[in-house]
């Protein structure tokens, strides 16, 4: 099991000056992984510190990771982070400690010189999809989201009877996951107007975003061997922001009885940075309190450990930049602000539930939380909820209104963790602009 | 577009005697691909002819495929068929023609001698999962299955209003796909008795099989670029048998609102042989006739070509061998016999629908049909239907009864195509034995 307390140890100052801004988001305590290329070189693993990315492949070749686990050095030559994620918690801790040492303000001159040569400014790097998830699972872990959406579809029974027992999830489409910055084409599909006798086929009229957080699996499990919840944390490598683009009108028509399919599978955006779980430990908080009358989680979904390490205090925001705003030089407008700690189900519960039937997780698998919404006004993670199902359009500062995304709209997800006495930890951004249907 | 007529050309006799039995199922006209190993060697691609498997890697190394597309030779050194599937229809046709030439009764002595050395009897080979599907999609293409199951869950509206417009499907779990012969452990999960106030967690009490056919994608499509239905056939490499094991009681409790999840993701079995579409062309038949009043397929799901090439006349059977039957030395008992041509939606319609929103398919993706059931008694592809939802247990010849699978039960799926004047084409078997919950 992970020694969580050792994980809380704070990094100090770095000789990379941009890492020392406590509001910068990418201090020695963060060190998120990515796949990047510099000067049109080939894609390779990197780690962000401050405004720089260090080239892991060249770090490995330069012998600076030589004494670490051989799997780490092999993984540094890969074009995705999948192999790195498979190395295991001990090897990951070794790499993280090494990186902290190399970037520490106390590092000797020779180290600084050697490592300095392997840095690329983030602004000059091309960033790629960090992981090729073998499978993608999308949960539905926000009870506020489930209730709000349920109310629109089923006013009489917004929250289904299984919700408080089962961490509801479904299999998503892995092939169409794209990295932040990739434009998203408005999909075509079947929709049916309530008053029409037949459906029609054409571009969706109700395109939405969904603000989610993705958990990347590190070590997997063998088929037939469930992961105990007390050990579930060991199986999560890190997190990213996820935008689960959704065509609501297509979804409403297709989703019975087997769930969402084409309404979601045209594209899912992920942020380029994978923030390791170790960086998030100071922001661990007890799982959301159950309200009186709520059932206790079933035995396989509860452990004393999980009650503490379970939830994460992470601020999540959505911004919108419309074509008119872009033309006018306006800053993106914040649509919502929520917090990951509001989820009904914790990351550890998702892992334990997913594997409870013997299903095998693989390194690099992506488990997204589902839309993260809170109970307060302005904390909902999608336009469907913010606009109360379209009944109350969202008003933008320039007078534009939205109940759904329009062509040219850019959606920007941001996430960060903050706690007194600790530097801010950023997840960066996940951006995507809607292109007209072809 | 594929020249389907050229595909109907019959192969003649082979110098591999076991291939010439017109009832044998593996003549020169079949030539299914597999991943096998001989004498504990490493897994590699092979092609079955009669009772033998030819080693594609050694065939390539021996220079017998030298003048074919270089991608074919590279793919022959792989441990899965994914790379082979990616080579494209022209390269596939070249390989198939070469194999037919090499095995033709008219092949010269030197060829026979060289190829003979690369044969392994099927009985002496270990067979592996042939493909690592990047994504697995499961459709619901049998209207008889949808109606029968719908009647059990929703007696008032068995077939949902979208069924005759949308080829309903959902994303499945790719990681837990296993090859025929792999035992399947009874999964644990949450279930809720209708009269209980709370669910319980434990081994499923209602384990079922589902008889399906899997389509493996050959050439994929770029994200954002739907495949036109008239070209959809070009994207299907071949077919296998699929057993979509299902825990009915878990499914009933978990499936709202996002569809089946843990009730299916513990295991999905596939047969070891991938029968190329070229081998199935003589058995192409017009798509199932719509009954009067049924809507026409929407424009993107209909083409004159598809109406002919769409359906496949393929007999599908399920056999059961219980522990008692095994102990008594009894042969497996046939539970059902149906036909793939009875599906409401054709393979081409599945491809066109799946990509209609811009979703990208990748080489090796598995698209399963969903349970294949017919309208006649004894043609249903799962116990849930055969037992009328448990109300009418299936009686076995030895007096045992089944409404669900018991530990020790072995399920055997078989499939074949038959047409006057053509040799029988077999898909082989897909077997799996239920192990007790651990």
Residue ranges of domains in chain B? 4-128, 136-435
**Given a cut of 80, is residue B375 above it in pLDDT?**
yes
Average pLDDT over residues B58-79: 96
A151 in helix, strand or coil? helix
Which chain B residues are closer than 8 Å to A437 by Cβ?
Answer: none
Task: Please check whether residue B44 is in contact with residue B55, taking contact to mean a CB–CB distance below 8 angstroms.
Answer: yes
Active site residues of A: 145
Average pLDDT of every residue of chain B: 95
- Calculated CA dihedral for residues B405, B407, B408, B414, nearest 10 degrees: 30
What is A380-395 written as a DSSP string? -SSHHHHTTTTTSPEE
Q: What share of chain A is helix, strand, coil (3-state, %, to 5)?
A: 25, 25, 50
Residue A40: the pLDDT is 82
Residue B9: the pLDDT is 60
CATH code, A136-435 = 3.90.850.10
Chain-centroid distance of CA A37 in Å reads 22
Which chain B residues are closer than 8 Å to A359 by Cβ?
Answer: 173, 175-176, 262, 265-266
Please tell me which residue of chain A has the smallest CA distance to B192: A162
Mutation for A interface: B235, B261, B362, B364, most A CBs within 10 A: B261
- Please report, in angstroms and rounded to a whole number, the separation of the first and last CA atoms in chain B: 50
Q: Which of B92, B145, B281, B333 is catalytic?
A: B145
- Calculated CA dihedral for residues B34, B38, B40, B42, nearest 10 degrees: -50
Task: Please check whether residue B419 is in contact with residue B283, taking contact to mean a CB–CB distance below 8 angstroms.
Answer: yes
**Given a cut of 70, is residue B353 above it in pLDDT?**
yes
pTM: 0.96
Q: Whole-angstrom Cα distance, residue B175 to residue A134?
A: 7
CB-based contact A135 B175, cutoff 8 Å: yes
Give B392: exposed, middle or buried? Use CB within 10 Å, 0-12, 13-18, 19+: exposed
CB-based contact A175 B265, cutoff 8 Å: no
B158-181: per-residue pLDDT in tens? 999 999 999 999 999 999 999 999
Supply B18's token pair: 């076991």
Fold of the CATH domain A4-128:
SH3 type barrels. (2.30.30)
Nearest Cα residue to B64 out of B9, B120, B118: B118
Residue B155: the pLDDT is 86
How far apart are the CA of B410 and the nearest CA of chain A, in angstroms?
18
3-state secondary structure string across chain B = CCCHHHHCCCCCCECCHHHCCCCCCCCCCCCCEEEEEECCCCCEEEEEECCEEEEHHHHHHCCCCCCCCHHHHHHCCCCCCHHHHCCCHHHHHHHHHHHHHHHECCCCHHHHHHHHCCEEEHHHEEEECCCCCCCEEEECCCHHHHHHHHHHHCCCCCCCCCCCCCCCEEEECCCCEEECCCCEECCEEEECCCCCCCCEEEECCCEECCEEEEEEECCCCCCCCCCCHHHHHHHEEEEEEEECCEEHHHHHHHCCCCCCCCCCCCCEEECCCEEEHHHHHHHEECCCCCCCCCCCCCHHHCCHHHHHHCEECCEEEEEEECHHHHHCCCCCEEEEEEEHHHCCCCHHHHHHHHHCCCCCCCCCCEEECCCCCCCCCCCCCCHHHHCCCCCCCEECCCCCEECCCCCCCEEEEEEEECCCCCCCEEEEEEEEEEECCC
Please tell me which residue of chain A has the smallest CA distance to B188: A357
Which chain A residues are closer than 8 Å to B221 by Cβ?
Answer: none
List the single residue in A170, A176, A188 with the smallest CB-CB distance to B259: A170
List the single residue in A134, A258, A353 with the smallest CB-CB distance to B259: A258
B212-262: per-residue pLDDT in tens? 999 999 999 999 999 999 999 999 999 999 999 999 999 999 999 999 999
Q: Give the strand order in the sheet containing B125-128.
A: B119-121, B52-55, B44-49, B33-38, B125-128
CB atoms within 10 A of CB A401: 10
Residue A11: the pLDDT is 67
Mutation for B interface: A255, A257, A370, most B CBs within 10 A: A257
The position carrying tokens 């510190």 is A49
Residue A308: the pLDDT is 58
Which chain B residues are closer than 8 Å to A190 by Cβ?
Answer: 162, 165-166, 298
Q: Whole-angstrom Cα distance, residue A304 to residue A310?
A: 10
Average pLDDT over residues B369-396: 97
Within 13 Å and on the Cβ side, how many CA atoms surround A276? 28
Q: What is the DSSP letter of A342?
A: G
Residue A363: the pLDDT is 98
Mutation for A interface: B145, B148, B191, B259, most A CBs within 10 A: B259
Q: Whole-angstrom Cα distance, residue B429 to residue B411?
A: 10
Bridge-based pairing of strands A425-435 and A184-185 is parallel
Bridge-based pairing of strands B366-368 and B136-139 is parallel
Which chain B residues are closer than 8 Å to A267 by Cβ?
Answer: 223, 358
Residue B37 phi, psi dihedral angles, 5° rounding: -140, 150
How far apart are the CA of B279 and the nearest CA of chain A, in angstroms?
29
Nearest Cα residue to B434 out of B210, B141, B208: B208
A204 in helix, strand or coil? coil
How far apart are the CA of B173 and the nearest CA of chain A, in angstroms?
6
Which residues share a beta bridge with A338?
A: A316
Supply B229's token pair: 């239905």
Supply B400's token pair: 């045992």
**Mean pLDDT per 10-residue section of chain A, whose length is 438 residues:** 56 93 97 95 97 98 95 97 97 97 97 98 98 98 96 87 97 98 98 95 98 98 96 96 98 95 98 97 92 93 76 97 98 98 96 98 98 96 97 97 98 98 97 97
Task: Please check whether residue A314 is in contact with residue A71, taking contact to mean a CB–CB distance below 8 angstroms.
Answer: no
Q: Whole-angstrom Cα distance, residue B61 to residue B76?
A: 9
Task: Please check whether residue A394 is in contact with residue A377, taking contact to mean a CB–CB distance below 8 angstroms.
Answer: no
A331 in helix, strand or coil? coil
Q: Residues B296, B301, B304, B305: is their CA dihedral positive or negative?
A: negative
Supply A43's token pair: 């894609």
Dihedral class, residue B292 (left if φ above 0, else alpha if ψ from -120 to 50, else beta)? beta
Q: Whole-angstrom Cα distance, residue A232 to residue A297?
A: 15
Supply B69's token pair: 């597309």
Q: Whole-angstrom Cα distance, residue A159 to residue A145?
A: 10
Task: Please check whether residue B77 is in contact with residue B57, taking contact to mean a CB–CB distance below 8 angstroms.
Answer: yes
Task: Please check whether residue A55 is in contact with residue A118, taking contact to mean a CB–CB distance below 8 angstroms.
Answer: yes
The position carrying tokens 């999308």 is A138
Nearest Cα residue to A324 out of A390, A396, A255, A274: A396
List the single residue in B224, B267, B362 with the smallest CB-CB distance to A185: B224
Which chain A residues are closer than 8 Å to B174 by Cβ?
Answer: 134-135, 174
A352-391: per-residue pLDDT in tens? 999 999 999 999 999 999 999 999 999 999 999 999 999 9
Residue A152: the pLDDT is 87
**b/e burial code for range B40-70 (CB count within 10 A of at least 16 → b):** eeebbbbbbbbbbbbbbbbbbeeebbeebbe
Nearest Cα residue to A412 out of A311, A346, A359, A337: A337
> Cα B282–B284–B289 angle (5° rounding)?
150
- Grade residue B307 by pLDDT with cuts at 50, 70 and 90: low
Highest mean pLDDT among A9-23, B133-147, B287-301, B302-316: B133-147
Average pLDDT over residues B394-410: 98
Q: Whole-angstrom Cα distance, residue B8 to residue B5?
A: 5
**Given a cut of 60, is residue B6 above it in pLDDT?**
no
CB-based contact A357 B262, cutoff 8 Å: yes
Supply B283's token pair: 């058995």
> A with B: how many residue pairs have Cβ under 8 Å apart?
188
How far apart are the CA of A222 and the nearest CA of chain B, in angstroms?
10
How far apart are the CA of A285 and the nearest CA of chain B, in angstroms?
27
Nearest Cα residue to A35 out of A241, A197, A180: A180
List the single residue in B169, B226, B253 with the smallest CB-CB distance to A258: B169
**Given a cut of 70, is residue B312 above it in pLDDT?**
yes
- Grade residue B5 by pLDDT with cuts at 50, 70 and 90: low
List the single residue in A165, A173, A267 with the smallest CB-CB distance to B199: A165
Q: Whole-angstrom Cα distance, residue B296 to residue B286?
A: 15
């Amino acid at each position: 099991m992970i020694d969580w307390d050792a994980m809380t140890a704070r990094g100090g100052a770095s000789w990379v000056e941009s890492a020392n801004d406590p509001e910068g988001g990418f201090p020695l305590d963060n060190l998120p992984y990515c796949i990047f290329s510099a000067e049109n070189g080939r894609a390779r693993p990197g780690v962000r510190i401050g405004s720089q990315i260090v080239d892991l492949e060249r770090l490995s070749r330069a012998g600076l990771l030589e004494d670490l686990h051989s799997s780490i050095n092999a993984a540094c030559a890969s074009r995705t982070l999948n192999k790195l994620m498979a190395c295991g918690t001990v090897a990951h801790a070794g790499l993280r400690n090494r990186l902290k040492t190399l970037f520490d303000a106390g590092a000797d001159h020779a180290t600084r010189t050697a490592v300095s040569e392997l840095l690329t400014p983030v602004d000059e790097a091309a960033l790629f999809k960090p992981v090729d998830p073998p499978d993608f699972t999308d949960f539905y872990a926000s009870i506020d989201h489930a209730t709000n959406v349920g109310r629109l579809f089923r006013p009489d029974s917004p929250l289904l009877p299984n919700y408080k027992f089962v961490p509801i999830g479904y299999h998503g489409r892995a092939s169409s996951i794209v990295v932040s910055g990739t434009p998203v084409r408005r999909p075509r599909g079947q929709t049916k107007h309530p008053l029409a006798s037949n459906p029609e086929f054409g571009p969706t009229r109700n395109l939405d975003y969904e603000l989610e957080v993705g958990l990347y699996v590190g070590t997997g499990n063998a088929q037939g061997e469930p992961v105990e919840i007390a050990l579930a944390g060991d199986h999560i490598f890190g997190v990213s922001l996820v935008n689960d683009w959704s065509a609501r009108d297509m979804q409403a028509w297709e989703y019975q009885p087997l769930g969402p399919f084409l309404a979601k599978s045209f594209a899912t955006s992920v942020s380029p940075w994978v923030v390791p779980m170790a960086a998030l430990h100071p922001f661990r908080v007890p799982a959301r309190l159950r309200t009186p009358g709520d059932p206790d989680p079933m035995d396989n979904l509860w452990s004393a450990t999980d009650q503490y390490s379970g939830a994460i205090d992470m601020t999540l925001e959505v911004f919108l930049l419309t074509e008119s705003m872009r033309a006018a030089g306006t800053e993106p407008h914040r649509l919502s602000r929520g917090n990951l700690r509001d989820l009904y189900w914790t990351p550890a519960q998702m892992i334990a539930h997913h594997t409870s039937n013997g299903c095998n997780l693989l390194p690099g698998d992506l488990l997204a939380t589902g839309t993260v919404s809170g109970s307060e006004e302005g904390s909902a993670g999608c336009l469907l909820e913010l606009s109360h199902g379209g009944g109350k359009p969202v008003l933008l500062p320039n007078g534009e209104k939205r109940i759904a995304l329009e062509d040219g709209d850019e959606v920007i997800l941001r996430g960060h963790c903050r706690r007194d006495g600790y530097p801010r930890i950023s997840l960066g951004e996940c951006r995507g602009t809607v292109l007209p249907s072809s």
